[in-house]
Each structure stands twice: as structure tokens, then as C-alpha cells.
Amino acid sequence: MALFQRSSSSSAKGFDWAGFLWLFLFFWYFSGITQLLIQLTGTSGFTGFRQAFVMSAIWLAPMLLFPRQTRVMAALIGVVLWACSMASLGYFFIYQQEFSQSVIFIMFESNISEAGEYMTQYFAWWMVVAFLAHTLFAYFLWTRLRPVYMPRGRALVAATAILVAVIGYPMIKQTLRTGSFAEGFEKLETRIEPAVPWQMAVAYHRYLDTLAGMQDMLDSASKIPPLNNLKDAMANQPATLVLVIGESTNRQRMSLYGYPRETTPELDKLKDQLAVFDNVITPRPYTIEALQQVLTFADEENPDLYLSTPSLVSMMKQAGYKTFWITNQQTMTKRNTMLTTFSEQADEQVYLNNNRNQNAAQYDGDVIEPFNKALADAAPRKLIVVHLLGTHMSYQYRYPSTFDKFKDRNGVPAGVRDDQLPTYNSYDNAVLYNDFVVSSLIKDYAKSDPNGFLLYLSDHGEDVFDSPGHSTLGRNEAKPTAPMYTIPFMAWASPKWRETHDWSFAEDLGRPYSSSHLIHTWADLAGLSFDELDRSKSLVSDSFKPRPLMIGNPYERQQKALIDFSLIKPKVKPNPGDVVLH
């Protein structure tokens, strides 16, 4: 009766909005503080902040249903949220990144010794002060909490409305849209992930899924028979070979390939030392789908061969090379399980990118230190694969402020609108930083006095208002444009390698070529031979045969899913003042 009287009294005075807002602020604080720091430092986009804000509302439901237990429930929930937020905040302090399932993977793959080294290396005294301040402010917010009373019926309706709006409706909508509850639930996980404690729960769940999927793929890969009659012209001789895989880099935006802006000054200086191929395209404009062909014997005509034939890494292991995979790509995600499978085939792996999404500051310069460490490894025969994040959107996150060079219209096609200019410029700045990273890898490789070669190509291109009409941004296989497929492809060989190998490719540089046949070119360059090798698909072979450069989705059943790349080359008269690129 007392409770009913208090509820009635409260209702008579009106709803306690101040108390309600204190409750929301308390629950939002644990997710919001890290997301706020991410926003203030420009580390990532707004999505995480928005989702953390929305998801914090779900804790209001039990507070409205059981107002007499408000402070006790808030304390119990708050302790869990506080513990998770400490991990999230600490990770941000160290890496300026958002906590993700990749971090969970690392946590479970690390031992106590590694954890101790980690703490010793990154711990700083100011973190204690920051954690203490974080805890004290959380306690202050808890002291401000008070019950928010409503009539029982209204409280039930309000609590239900909150849960439906935040969780039920988005999941039902996505389930109906896709026709799959699993996909609807996966979308919900993505929505709730930025908020504590869900980031931990979702990260662990996806870690288990990724681990299972990766293991299935690795088990399948382990059953693939080796190449037949493999012979190595370099057998028993020391050699270090390097494959650098770029990301989203359109060669038409590189001064090395004739772009009027100086976006590749360091590679330009090395041009006389490089074999720069200028007619290479990718078969598909997406990383996973492209690399399924680039790194295996699969191609547009036989797209499933990646499931039944050795990868480039497996081929080199069979030839007696110790293999390394250094990646700045997000690897431990459901989407990137294939990348994980490729990397796990190597003897040693270095995973550098633990961000939850691609729209986060992550610089490829991080690969240089582990690359040099791999170069110094005592193994006499090594393959080092470096997978860059390259010029992946959002482009402003791909380079530090010192590479923010292009800010005006100088060298920009006249058809690019003013509202498109910042994005256009940020892509060129990303290409500029990519030039620094790739050239640094070449220079460091050269300093190691290796016997071998380094080959760099991008997985696919990117259209950043480049094609006629200047309306396209990104990649869309259903509406292909040339910049999505035109990729840089170049190689550098050491003096030792040139002494024993023919490195005269002047007549080969303009050959039409698809990177889907890279494994044949790589084997040819490395001096390997085996029954499956087709030298007519080797870009540097005297037996090379030009083929139509086919692009498209080979799994699409509709007619003409695969088209000749030459059919999408620009035939439209350019706007006055536009730079015409070939």
C-alpha cells in the first residue's frame, strides 16, 4: 500500500525526468567515456558512439520495473560494466584503438609470460590516475541515483518499449529483410558491440565462431595434395623473397604511373630500379574474393580451385622456405576468415590491426618493425608476405597528419565537386603514405643484402570520383568502372639475384595481365617448376599468351556475369580540364 501511495504521489508531481536522466548517464558512462575519447581524438567514426548511446538505454528497463531496488541493481550492474570499461579504456590508452574481438583472440592466444612482457612494456604511471578518476566518477554518478516511480502498468509498457526499440525491432527488421534469423542476430551483435559488456560477450562469441571456421578451412587446406614434381632451380641456396599486398590502391592515382600530382615521390626515385608493369588488373574489386584467386590457382574460369589446390604460401613451404605473414588488415573477423586461413598457413604470423571496424586510425608503418625482424631471421630461405591496409576507406584514417599534403584543387579534375574535394584529397594523401611504406620496405629489404626479389601489387583498385561523371566512390562489382580494377604491379630484385636470373622485362611491362594468375608469375620468378605450372599465364615468361581480362562474379548465374575489362574502359568524352588517365 505504501508503494502504491508513493507511486501515486510521484505521478501526481509528474515524471521524475532528472532521476531518469541520472540513471541513463550512469549506465551510458561506462561505454560512453571510451567512445567519447575515440571521437575527440578522431580515431574512428561516429557509429560506435551512437550505438553505445542507444544500447545503454536497455538498463533503464529493470530500473523502471523494480524502482525500490534501483541502487542495489545499479551497483551490481555497474560493477560488471565498470570492469569491462576498465579493459576497454585501458586498451584505448595503450593503442588508441577500440576494443574488438581481435583483442579477445590475442588474449586467449597469449600466455602468462607474454602478458607480463606486455604489461611491463606499456604500463605508465598516469594510467593509475586515469583509472582511479574513472572509478571515482562512476561512484559519484551512482550516489546521484534515485528510484524513478511510475504506475506499474506504465512502467511495464515503458520497459517493454525500450527493449523492443533497442533490441527487438532492429533484429526483427533485419531478420525479415534477409529471411534469416542468424543474419538478424548477427546484425544485432554488430549493433550492440560498441557498448559494455556486450563488446566482451560478442567478441568472445565471434572469436569462437572464427576459430571454428578457421579450423575447418585449415583442416581442408591440410588435406590438399602437394604440387606434382616440384623442382627448385634455387634449391639449397639462401634466398629471401617478399610479397607485399596492398589494399584499394588505384594505380591511376600514382605519379609513378603518370598521375600529375606527386603522390609517389619515393617510388618515383626508385623507378629505374623497379620493373613497373602498367597493364595489370584485378579480377574482382573486393579483398577476399580477389585474394582467393591472386594467392591460389583459382581464376575467373575456375573460381573454386582455391579449395583444392595449394596456395602460394603452401607452394613456397613445399619448396623449403620458412614463411612469414605480417598483416595490418583486420584478420579475426567472420568476413576475413579466409585471410586468417592464408596467414595461418605460414610458419609465423604477426597481426597488427585489432580495430573493430575499418574506419579507425591504423597506419601501415607498423609493419616495418616486424618486417625487419623477419628479414633478420636466421632461416636461410624465407618467404615474407606483408599485407597492408593501404588506401582502404575511410581514407583520412590511413595516414598520419604529417602526410596531409593535398588540400586544394591543384591537379584535381575540374569535374570533381567542392563537396567531393576533401575525400578526393584524402585518398591522394593515403596514396602518398602508402608510397612511404612500400618504398621503406624496399629500402629496408635492400639494406639486408638479400638474394631475392620483392613484388608489390594491390588486391584491387578504388574509384574515388575518377571515372567519367565523377560520381562514383568506392567499389561496386555490379557497376564496374576501370579504377576499381587497375592496380599497381611492380618488382625489385637485389644485385645478387640479378646476377643469376634474367631480369630484363622491358618488353613485358605493357602486357595485359590479370593478377588472378599471379601464382604462375611468382613461381616463374622464384625458379620453381611443377606439373601444374602454366607459363603461358606467367607475365614474365617467353611463353606468355595474352588473354581477355575477365572481371566479375564467377558465381553469378545470370548471363554475361563475367565481362572483358576492355568493355568498361572510359569511352566518354572527358569534361574540360579533366586529367585523362590510361
Q: pLDDT digits over 169-198, tens only? A: 888 888 888 888 887 787 777 777 778 888
What pLDDT is attached to residue 572? 37
pLDDT at 217 over 80: no
> And the C-alpha cell for 100?
574488438
In which band, very low, low, confident or very high, does the pLDDT at 119 lie, cut at 50, 70 and 90? low
In which band, very low, low, confident or very high, does the pLDDT at 579 lie, cut at 50, 70 and 90? very low
What pLDDT is attached to residue 11? 43
- Residue 161 near residue 168 (C-beta atoms within 8 A): no
Distance CA 213, CA 206 (A): 10
What pLDDT is attached to residue 354? 63
Whole-model pTM above 0.85?
no
Residues whose CB is less than 8 angstroms from the CB of residue 519 and which lie 6 or more positions away in sequence, other chains included: 294, 295, 296, 297, 312, 315
Q: What is the pLDDT of residues 510-524, one digit of tens each?
A: 999 999 999 999 999
For the residues 412-440, what does the mean pLDDT come to?
96
pLDDT at 127 over 70: yes
Pairing of strands 453-458, 489-493: antiparallel
- Give 79-86's long-range contacts (Cβ < 8 A, gap of 24+): 80/197, 81/27, 81/30, 81/31, 81/196, 81/197, 82/30, 82/135, 82/138, 83/197, 84/30, 84/196, 84/197, 84/199, 84/200, 85/30, 85/31, 85/33, 85/34, 85/134, 85/196, 86/131, 86/134
Distance CA 554, CA 560 (A): 10
What pLDDT is attached to residue 577? 37
What pLDDT is attached to residue 559? 54
> And the C-alpha cell for 462?
578504388
- Residue 35 near residue 88 (C-beta atoms within 8 A): no
- Residue 441 near residue 245 (C-beta atoms within 8 A): no
Cα torsion 279, 282, 287, 291 to 10°: value is -110
Distance CA 495, CA 517 (A): 27
Residue 522 backbone phi and psi in degrees, to 5: -60, -45
Q: What is the pLDDT of residues 368-410, one digit of tens each?
A: 999 999 999 999 999 999 999 999 988 998 999 999 999 999 9
Pairing of strands 231-232, 528-529: antiparallel
Q: Which of 278, 277, 307, 280 is nearest to 295 (CA)?
A: 307
Q: Which of 90-94, 260-264, 297-301 has the lowest mean pLDDT?
A: 90-94
Residues whose CB is less than 8 angstroms from the CB of residue 333 and which lie 6 or more positions away in sequence, other chains included: 101, 102, 206, 210
Distance CA 388, CA 362 (A): 10
Q: Which of 430, 440, 435, 490 is nearest to 462 (CA)?
A: 430
What pLDDT is attached to residue 289? 87
pLDDT at 106 over 60: no
Q: What is the pLDDT of residues 441-478, one digit of tens each?
A: 999 999 999 999 999 999 999 999 999 999 889 888 87
> Mean pLDDT highest for which of 31-40, 419-428, 560-569?
419-428
DSSP string spanning 275-309? EEE-SEE-S-SSHHHHHHHHTSS--SSSGGGGGTS
Return the biggest CA–CA distance within the chain: 96
What pLDDT is attached to residue 582? 30
- Residue 100 near residue 48 (C-beta atoms within 8 A): no
- Residue 395 near residue 429 (C-beta atoms within 8 A): yes
Distance CA 344, CA 226 (A): 17
> And the C-alpha cell for 435?
608510397
Instruction: Answer with the residue of higher pLDDT: 69 or 223.
Output: 69
Distance CA 424, CA 465 (A): 7
Distance CA 393, CA 395 (A): 4
Average pLDDT, the chain: 86
Distance CA 290, CA 267 (A): 25
User: What is the share, in percent, of the chain residues with pLDDT greater than 70?
Assistant: 84
Helix, strand or coil, per DSSP, at residue 375: helix
Beta partners for residue 491, in sequence order = 275, 455
In which band, very low, low, confident or very high, does the pLDDT at 99 lie, cut at 50, 70 and 90? low
Distance CA 355, CA 336 (A): 13
Instruction: Answer with the residue of higher pLDDT: 546 or 55.
Output: 546
pLDDT at 39 over 90: no
Distance CA 312, CA 128 (A): 47
Residue whose C-alpha cell is 588474449? 107
**Start-end of H helices in 110-194:** 112-122, 125-143, 152-163, 169-178, 181-192
pLDDT at 234 over 90: no
Q: How many CB atoms lie within 10 A of CB 308?
A: 15
Distance CA 388, CA 368 (A): 11
In which band, very low, low, confident or very high, does the pLDDT at 335 lie, cut at 50, 70 and 90? very low
pLDDT at 348 over 90: yes
What pLDDT is attached to residue 104? 61
In which band, very low, low, confident or very high, does the pLDDT at 3 lie, cut at 50, 70 and 90? very low
For the residues 140-159, what does the mean pLDDT come to?
94
Helix, strand or coil, per DSSP, at residue 157: helix
For the residues 38-44, what does the mean pLDDT come to?
75
Distance CA 172, CA 90 (A): 35
Q: What is the pLDDT of residues 74-97, one digit of tens each?
A: 999 999 999 988 888 887 887 676
